[in-house]
């Protein structure tokens, strides 16, 4: 543990390089000796896992694009060509298809971690907002990728979702035509979705770099939510967190490999192995599992435009989180009331996911409405009220000082005032 360590170039070449382009210094400061809180738990390994998810999707995606044909008459068959004739094509495609699911699984855990430990609070507002931007881009990218398969669910999912844009007053119809490249989902739609599906991951990559940059300005949050005060509170990123993250990644990969090799189609819908047919509508049109909670919110509202607004609103509200929850105590560990509402929210989201896959009628519809109301109430009602009235439980003075802070909740509290 070299607390006061600073990079010093070892030989003549690195000295020469350091004066011109301090590449090694940059890598050292950001990847190796970067001071990281010593108490991070396994929920903090998902940033690393997500970076590798993105890299995996990009590499497999580039290879798939070498063999894929974005044309309505050939797209479906070209994927079967990849599955049957391209060497290890089935492996590349199953990694890419299941990789999208794994990516979303990891991002959901990553976001719920942020929500639990208050990682969006001052000074990490921009870090959080960049994360929400990445999430939004991921949803758009995944949706477009699913359309490329050109199966029944691809086609009808694209039809349903793009039609939502048409609900926007005045400009909706024009935007819809521009999005589709015509008046219905057809070859121009497939072509532009392919183009954008190739472009957006690189945009995501760019925002990820900003996300990591913002992280390295403020430093990591940690399970106590108490700010780092001195070098006793931190350890270097390498080897401690490189090794711990890698361990978590191997666990993640084991689950990933199970899906790829033993159950590659369980997360998809059988109808997507039927080629797209504009004349035959599937019995139930459902999106991929990771979009089901948003789909449930959309269908919970009887009015189309309101449904669309609420669905987008469910993500937009996340941008305002740092100003909706103004409680100084970050971690839910020391917020007993928030903790209850948090877990209720977690259950609500899971329930919304389940409801998104069911027909919107009877009890399912009623539950979707209850859950949708709670989803928004959690952010817009519960958070502001708790910020004002909740009494936090006793917390330690610092990360490596477990003595209880008696001066709780006042501005004199050193643990809380460090950022002020």
Partner 1 sequence: MRLTQAIIILLTIVFFSNNQNLLASGDETFKNLKPNFSFEGPFGKFDRESLKRGYQVYSEVCSSCHGMKQLSFRNLSQPGGPEFSVNKVKEIASEYFILDGSDEYGDPIERSRVPSDRFQPPFDNKDAAKASNNGAYPPDLSLIVKARSDGANYIYSLLSGYEEPMPESMHIDESLSYNPWFSGSAIAMAQPLYDEMVEYDDGTIASISQMSYDVANFLAWAAEPTMEERKSLGLIVMGFLFIFLILMFFSVRRLFKDVH
Listed in sequence order, the residues at least 6 apart from 173 whose beta carbon sits closer than 8 Å to its beta carbon are 166
Contacting residue, 374, 398, 413, 416, with partner 1 by CB under 8 A:
374
Binding-residue pattern over the window 309 to 348 for partner 1, x denoting contact by CB under 8 A? ----------------------------x--xx--x--x-
Nearer to partner 1, 210 or 253 (CB): 253
- Contact between 94 and partner 1 per CB under 8 A: yes
User: Could you give the CA distance from residue 66 to residue 77 in angstroms, rounded to a whole number?
Assistant: 14
Binding-residue pattern over the window 26 to 65 for partner 1, x denoting contact by CB under 8 A? ------------x---------------------------
- Contact between 231 and partner 1 per CB under 8 A: no
For residue 412, how many C-alpha atoms fall within 13 Å in the half-sphere facing its CB? 4
# of chain residues touching partner 1 (CB under 8 A): 46
Nearer to partner 1, 47 or 268 (CB): 268
- Site stretch for partner 1 (CB under 8 A), options 79-87, 125-133, 221-229, 320-328: 79-87
396-405 in b/e form (b: 16+ CB < 10 A) is: ebbbeeeeeb
Nearer to partner 1, 281 or 344 (CB): 344
- Contact between 288 and partner 1 per CB under 8 A: no
The CB-of-236 to partner 1 minimum distance in angstroms stands at 11
Distances (CA, A) of 17 to 14, 20, 22, 247: 5, 5, 6, 34
For residue 271, how many C-alpha atoms fall within 13 Å in the half-sphere facing its CB? 19
Binding site for partner 1 (CB under 8 A): 38, 77, 80, 83-84, 90-91, 94, 235, 239-240, 243-244, 246-247, 250-251, 253-254, 257-258, 260-262, 264-265, 270-271, 273-274, 283, 337, 340-341, 344, 347, 351, 359, 361-364, 366-367, 370, 374
């Amino acid at each position: 543990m070299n607390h006061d360590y600073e990079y010093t170039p070892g030989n003549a070449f690195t000295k020469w390089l350091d004066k011109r382009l301090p590449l090694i210094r940059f890598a050292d400061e950001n990847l190796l000796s970067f001071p990281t809180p010593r108490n991070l738990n396994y929920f903090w390994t998902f940033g690393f896992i997500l970076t590798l998810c993105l890299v995996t999707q990009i590499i497999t995606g580039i290879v798939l694009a070498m063999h894929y044909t974005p044309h309505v008459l050939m797209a479906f068959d070209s994927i079967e060509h990849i599955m049957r004739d391209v060497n290890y094509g089935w492996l590349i495609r199953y990694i890419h298809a299941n990789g999208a699911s794994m990516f979303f699984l990891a991002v959901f855990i990553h976001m719920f971690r942020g929500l639990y430990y208050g990682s969006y609070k001052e000074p990490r507002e921009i870090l959080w907002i960049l994360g929400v931007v990445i999430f939004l881009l991921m949803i758009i990218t995944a949706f477009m990728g699913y359309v490329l398969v050109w199966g029944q669910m691809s086609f009808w999912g694209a039809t349903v979702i793009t039609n939502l844009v048409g609900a926007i007053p005045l400009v909706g119809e024009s935007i819809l035509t521009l999005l589709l490249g015509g008046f219905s989902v057809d070859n121009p739609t497939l072509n532009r979705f392919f183009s954008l599906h190739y472009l957006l991951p690189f945009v995501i990559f760019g925002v990820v770099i900003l996300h990591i940059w913002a992280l390295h300005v403020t430093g990591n949050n940690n399970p106590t939510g108490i700010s780092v005060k001195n070098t006793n509170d931190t350890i270097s990123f390498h080897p401690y967190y490189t090794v711990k993250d890698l361990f978590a990644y191997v666990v993640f990969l084991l689950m990933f490999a199970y899906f790829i090799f033993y159950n590659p189609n369980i997360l998809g819908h059988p109808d997507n192995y039927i080629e797209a047919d504009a004349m035959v509508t599937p019995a139930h049109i459902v999106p991929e599992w990771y979009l089901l909670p948003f789909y449930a919110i959309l269908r919970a509202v009887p009015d189309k435009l309101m449904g669309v607004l609420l669905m987008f609103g469910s993500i937009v509200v996340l941008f305002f989180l740092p100003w909706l929850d103004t409680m100084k105590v970050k971690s839910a560990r020391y917020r007993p009331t928030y903790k209850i509402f948090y877990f209720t929210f977690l259950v609500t989201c899971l329930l919304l996911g389940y409801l998104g896959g069911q027909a919107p009628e009877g009890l399912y519809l009623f539950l979707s409405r209850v859950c949708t109301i709670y989803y928004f109430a959690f952010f817009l009602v519960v958070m502001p009220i708790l910020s004002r009235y909740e009494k936090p439980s006793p917390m330690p003075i610092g990360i490596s000082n477990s003595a209880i802070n008696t001066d709780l909740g006042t501005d004199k509290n050193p643990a809380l005032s460090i950022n002020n």
